Structure 1
């Protein structure tokens, strides 16, 4: 029996979902994408705020961004990036890669562009998991319609709804306040003193970029130790901001700094505004519940969320998640009972907390992604990633920690399933 697989979003995760659904003789994918092109967060725009339809700007891409992973570790397992000397590539090349992926697997006929998903609700059946009613607005003619899907992939991305932490008296600060979601280029910060709050990937990258034009950059964070890499002379690492004043900020160590701008590089919220409460999904302490293997709705296993784990090689992880879920939808693999799935998740959460990790980092993987990918591959009968991908990823992670300003000048070449060469 042919099954319809609904897919929300035509970014990398949604395209991957359609690619594997199309490869199955018994699945028909349909993608709803609110923009006019594929690529999701990789589609750069100068726009801020809301688009012409009144919808929030989705992408957080900035003008000069280059990947912080080499393309040799980024690619979908069945679709390598084009050959070239550079490993760390401009965001436009990633978007072109996704467009080529879309064309190669003939995905575009499945996509309804300029369609905004308004509401998703379950349709209970006498047996088995529910179907899903998906109400979508055609933005061009302002008409809404509802489709019913046998399974649903949530691929709306997780880098579009800014997380802004509480800072005491922030309204008293007379300078500019901005989240990295609205950062596009460094020139507006020329000769300013800028506080970058947060020292994860975007904070470090934007800090380096702004330092080229700013008078002074304070990299403010609460990590146990300072980042070990060398920084430009006008960058200073300081403790986290705890309180704003009219002309600056008080820090966690009791010191005070003056500033013209504070930029929140503090991450993003998991957000699914289209899901009705009947869908039974909650987000608590940055944990999406109830998900089995960070992926499948344990109560309604005909729904899956692609790309919840972070600090990963995203495209390969999407590929394993999509294949695992679609094989369960097709009955090729059988999931445990809801009780067993929830017990598995609870045990994993408990183990991470016992290791000293805060609950909010439950979906943070890093080196854990390789075990996760291999588990999905083993359970789903999927070909695993060659070990060379992990080797390159870990080598780059180590280089980034110690040589933040230079690591993107290196290039990598894969020589075999577990062998690579760093070219420079």
Structure 2
């Protein structure tokens, strides 16, 4: 429970004000929609409540051992034959050793803070307080103080905004800048339900990358001009952060955006542009995490911070037997819960022998091409191996499992097909077909907007308001236009080749 309360070494932690960046319908488990009275975006206590409801509904508590530390994971003596593992655990000071047929590593990558102190000259001379965002809980310690937040991820934005309400001044230092988007989209609908659609991803994949970058840049600047706020990223395709209040706090001076840090003095921070943050009381480094697995034997898998050779972010490429899988070691541009759920369904299918991995060379080639594609889209960064486009990735996994929705739905169930391909890509889509099919999936998809809007309709206006965004016709017309353009370009290229 430390993730919700006080941080412990080797475990994740949250600050008290954390609200989800993804809406409840997008982040639900695929066979268990969230209660309709839950707010559209959840405080982290509501996420915990939902996970507890899920565990109770499926009687999972009978299969979970709490307050138990995994001390070591090593190959069994006949691993090459059985694929089994020796696991040493400790509970209440008592250690025991067991043999398991397979291991799912699910501790994620938010446990060991990345604190690049040696990157900044004079840091050890600085007399103020220095912490990593992992240990931040509330803003009260920073009342009336001058604070520097280093980083431009979601945590950096949240913490800077929260502190800026009571601090004397907040500086936010960023090396690369970032797009900033709101949770609220056109006409007040949840942003992720508007943009996370199969049709939208199809446009992304069919457009030339330079054109896609221009399109994304225009859309990102639709809320406010990032250049005017000092936030415009170096890479137009950079993954955005979600923050509803950062532009407002910049606009009235509570937060000042600064470039990368150059060095520290005893009482100040000096930035690369020569400007100085004087009389600095505290520095909060929101600089991310390293991926660590202290319980794993070094000979099992080679780990290089965030660069871990995993096939489709799950299976070690060079392991003799596919009985070790990593879940959640990924940063999708979308919800993490349904992503990890699909990883688990795929991994368990392989461990049981119902699904098979390709040869090692095929997996190596896949990883190489995947990294090349990520560099083109996201640029090069520490977390590059973990980043991925959400819908592209879950489509890959669903095809591996054999549960991906297909175009035959337009014949068998046009109403459902329209929502699947042109509506939000909610997790229930992966319970319509194949192994694990859930009879309630169709209803969950057709009623997802009702559950989204119900918690906001707390005052009866005696009207019949629009129940969902009417983007379908625009999407269809755009689809036809793009297809016509692609066909026209193809004909021009063919004629040019002929000439």
Fold similarity call, TM over 0.5: yes
Q: Is 1:230 equivalent to 2:247 in the alignment?
A: yes
CA distance in 2, matches of 1:116, 1:308: 20
- Out of 167, 175, 179, the residue aligned to residue 128 of structure 2 is 175
Q: Secondary structure at the match of 1:414?
A: helix
Query: As a proportion of its length, which structure holds more strand?
Result: 1
Deviation (angstroms), 1:339: 1.9
Q: Secondary structure at the match of 1:324?
A: helix
Moved more, 221-230 or 114-123: 221-230
How far does the alpha carbon of each residue in 1:227-275 deviate from its partner, in whole angstroms, 9 at most, with x for none?
3762312111111212111111111222221211110111111110111
Q: Secondary structure at the match of 2:113?
A: coil
Tell me if the contact between 2:149 and 2:173 (Cα under 8 Å) persists in the aligned partners: yes
How far does the alpha carbon of each residue in 1:264-297 deviate from its partner, in whole angstroms, 9 at most, with x for none?
111111110111112123124x211x21001111
Q: Secondary structure at the match of 1:203?
A: helix
Partner of 2:402: 381
CA distance in 2, matches of 1:59, 1:191: 29
- Shift of the 383–129 alpha-carbon distance from structure 1 to 2, 3 Å rule, reads farther
Q: Is 1:363 equivalent to 2:398 in the alignment?
A: no
CA distance in 2, matches of 1:129, 1:318: 26
- Shift of the 341–194 alpha-carbon distance from structure 1 to 2, 3 Å rule, reads same
| RMSD, matched Cα | 2.6
Deviation (angstroms), 1:356: 6.6
Structure showing greater Rg? 2
Q: Which runs of 5+ in 2 are unaligned?
A: 178-226, 233-245, 406-418, 428-446, 452-465, 471-499
Q: Which runs of 5+ in 1 are unaligned?
A: 1-36, 51-55, 393-411
- Out of 251, 260, 268, the residue aligned to residue 240 of structure 1 is 260
Q: Secondary structure at the match of 1:363?
A: helix
Partner of 2:73: 120
Partner of 2:295: 274
Q: Is 1:206 equivalent to 2:159 in the alignment?
A: yes
Partner of 2:87: 134
- The TM-score, its normalising length taken from structure 1, stands at 0.76
- Out of 287, 296, 299, the residue aligned to residue 307 of structure 2 is 287
- Shift of the 363–356 alpha-carbon distance from structure 1 to 2, 3 Å rule, reads closer
CA distance in 1, matches of 2:19, 2:301: 38
- Shift of the 362–88 alpha-carbon distance from structure 1 to 2, 3 Å rule, reads same
Relative contact order, higher structure (CA 8 A, sep 6+): 2
Count of residues in Structure 1 that have an aligned counterpart in Structure 2: 350
- Shift of the 157–96 alpha-carbon distance from structure 1 to 2, 3 Å rule, reads same
Note the 1:12-411 alignment, pairs <5 A: 41=3, 44-45=4-5, 47-48=6-7, 50=8, 56=9, 58-84=11-37, 86-123=39-76, 125=78, 130-138=83-91, 140=92, 142-165=93-116, 166-224=119-177, 226-227=230-231, 230-232=247-249, 233=252, 234-258=254-278, 259-284=280-305, 286-288=306-308, 290-300=309-319, 301-311=322-332, 312-354=334-376, 357-358=379-380, 360-365=382-387, 368-383=389-404, 386=420, 388-390=423-425
Tell me if the contact between 2:86 and 2:97 (Cα under 8 Å) persists in the aligned partners: yes
Q: Secondary structure at the match of 2:149?
A: strand
Tell me if the contact between 2:109 and 2:289 (Cα under 8 Å) persists in the aligned partners: yes
Moved more, 347-356 or 89-98: 347-356
- Shift of the 353–420 alpha-carbon distance from structure 1 to 2, 3 Å rule, reads farther
CA distance in 1, matches of 2:56, 2:378: 45
CA distance in 2, matches of 1:274, 1:196: 32
Tell me if the contact between 2:374 and 2:387 (Cα under 8 Å) persists in the aligned partners: no
Q: Secondary structure at the match of 1:242?
A: strand
Moved more, 78-87 or 178-187: 78-87
Q: Secondary structure at the match of 1:250?
A: strand
Q: Is 1:421 equivalent to 2:477 in the alignment?
A: no
- The TM-score, its normalising length taken from structure 2, stands at 0.65
CA distance in 2, matches of 1:154, 1:356: 26
CA distance in 2, matches of 1:110, 1:204: 38
Deviation (angstroms), 1:82: 1.2
Q: Secondary structure at the match of 2:247?
A: coil
Tell me if the contact between 1:413 and 1:421 (Cα under 8 Å) persists in the aligned partners: no
Query: As a proportion of its length, which structure holds more helix?
Result: 2
